[in-house]
Amino acid sequence: MVTIPRLIIAGTHSGVGKTTVAVGLMASLVRRGLRVQPFKAGPDYIDPSYHAVAAGRISRNLDTWLLTKRQVCAVFQHASATADLAIVEGVMGLFDGHRSTSDRGSTAELATWLRTPVILVVDAGGMARSVAALVRGYLTFDPRVRVAGVILNRVSERHFQLLREALRHTLRVPILGYLPADPTFAIPERHLGLIPAHEDPALARAQERLATLIKHSINLAQILRIADTAPPLPEAPWPSSQDLAQRPAVTIGVARDRAFHFYYQDNLDLLHACGARLVEFSPLADARLPKDLDALYLGGGFPERFAAQLQQNAPMRRELRRAITGGVPTYAECGGLMYLAQRLIDAAGRAHAMVGVLPGAIRMTNRLQHFGYATVMPRRATILANARDPIKGHEFHYSTWDHAPSSRQAAYLVMRRREARRLEGFARANLLASYIHVHFLTNLRWARGFVASAQQWRKRRHRPR
């Protein structure tokens, strides 16, 4: 059994301030000298960037639709092994998930899988005694979910005292504190959600102010006592080198900067465990690729926001075009796909030259194009997988690609509940590009396949001529 003090920060609904509370608690507890391991429920890439700034540790995704219970527990235990405490930020409302009739994919499901006490965040502005009725519903809705405390958000101290009296008179649940309505703590949003942390230079200062406020308005000692009540978990080991059939070392270049930073950390860890050395480069700032690369991995992000800068960095675009057309195995997801196209047309209609190894143009729209979980079935062998070897993933994008995938070029058949199967992505020789972010832990053969393709390229490069 594995003992890890832990708690989940959940909300009554989206927008109640879960991220603010979670980030503030992480920063406050780190200031007390604790090693805090952050997590985010679901497929979100942006909230974890705030966690990382607050905790000084990489935040991981815990997704109960993509992963099995054992896999979720393995990710959780693997990342928390060197931490004093784990804090999980929930997704949407506590009971909101993949379906309206079950807890599938919800924060509540994650709480039951990890046997973790829940701290409920309530946006109580404009409420009085009604707050007790609201909280009672969350306390009793699912007896398997233990709501162990409540934090009231966007209230004054005087308002908090009134609400606490109403809750204490009606319910037996700890009222752990409050946060005032302070616009300096608000996190701006754009079409994919919150603005990533590294785009806000004032974030560290705001987190410091938030941590100072929480020290006086939230009972941290009681929160730590609640985290300590989490029961031991059955051991769920991370995949071993035997599981992954570790191969000789290869070097994979990973695009990482303000334009490209959407990666499942578990994907990177699994590639490393398979024998890959990961070397980061910036399509925005670097003129050259790292030397002696055996493969390229271009993840998602916001290339549309930095399209002019990406176009201006012509040396990097030439480097990538030369490498990819020369045979370097290249895997691109969502933003990476957009960058590899001929052009990227922004929301204002301005066209920007991109790398140009994929046909056609990417056009930004003001409407969400595809969103949600999916299982993808490879239509042919690629640099990552054999034909008909499925994997799970998630997509969320506002852009369209004017090159409709043909049956000859499409990488995948996308299978999603309540949606007709459709062709998606692009696969040709050493190149695989798709809008879908796949999770390698849902099919370890994909991680092994990527490293194997890199190894084949390495052997070819070093073959005597």
Q: What would the two tokens of residue 402 be?
A: 């004017």
Residue 373: alpha-carbon gap to chain centroid: 13
User: Does the annotation mark 334 as catalytic?
Assistant: yes
Q: Which residues pair with 125 in a beta bridge?
A: none
Give the span between the Cα atoms of 270 and 67, in whole angstroms.
15
315: CB partners within 8 A, 6+ apart: 287, 288
* Helix and strand numbers, DSSP H then E, in the chain: 14, 26
Of 35, 36, 41, 32, give the one whose Cα is nearest residue 9. Answer: 41
Residue 13 burial (CB < 10 Å; 0-12/13-18/19+)? middle
Give Rg (Cα) of the chain. Answer: 23
Q: What would the two tokens of residue 235 be?
A: 């051991």
Of 175, 148, 150, 151, give the one whose Cα is nearest residue 231. Answer: 148
Give the active site residue among 121, 131, 334, 414. 334
Q: What would the two tokens of residue 392 be?
A: 């799970």
Q: Residue 290 in contact with residue 279, Cβ under 8 Å?
A: yes
Beta-strand runs (E) in 169-320: 175-179, 189-190, 193-194, 250-255, 260-262, 276-281, 295-298, 300-301
> If you search the block for the tokens 């004054």, which residue do you land on?
156
> If you search the block for the tokens 């959407």, which residue do you land on?
262
Q: What would the two tokens of residue 175 be?
A: 């009222």
b/e code 421-455 from CB counts within 10 Å (16+ = b): eeebbbbeebbbbbbbbbbbbbbbbbbbbbbbbbb
Of 343, 339, 340, give the one whose Cα is nearest residue 353. Answer: 343
Give the span between the Cα atoms of 35 and 85, in whole angstroms.
6
> If you search the block for the tokens 């005032």, which residue do you land on?
180
| Coil, strand or helix at 102 | coil
Give the span between the Cα atoms of 465 and 462, in whole angstroms.
9
Q: Residue 39 in contact with residue 76, Cβ under 8 Å?
A: yes
Residues serving a catalytic function are 334
